[in-house]
Structure 1
């Protein structure tokens, strides 16, 4: 059976479900940033920005799989 995806409608404009998932992933990433800074996440990698981007992609993929 094919899963059903429901569009979000804001002011008569239909927004794709991936935008809602992306917004949730951004929210989770923003909540995690202070925690990661406190434990020294950036010191573990030679390129902390790239590591944080990879973490965001992993969060986005996990949310996509779970919804």
Structure 2
């Protein structure tokens, strides 16, 4: 079974880039101190239903969130 997950990978890249852009000059430590949800393993499930996030399609390609827009 392939372990790489495209949607989860891009989800974290996007949100970390967004957090960095919103906190210019702040260290990664400072960013996650201000946004501790970025350390939560299940944080993507606030944006995605379990069935959508863990689908074969989401594993292979980018899939848009179905619960709320992707932004901090």
In terms of fraction of residues, the more helix-rich structure is: 1
Q: Which has the higher contact order (CA 8 A, sep 6+)?
A: 2
Shorter chain as normaliser: what TM range?
A: 0.3 to 0.5
Give the number of the structure whose alpha-carbon radius of gyration is greater.
1
Query: Please, what TM-score do these two structures have when normalized by structure 2?
Result: 0.38
* More strand, by proportion: 1
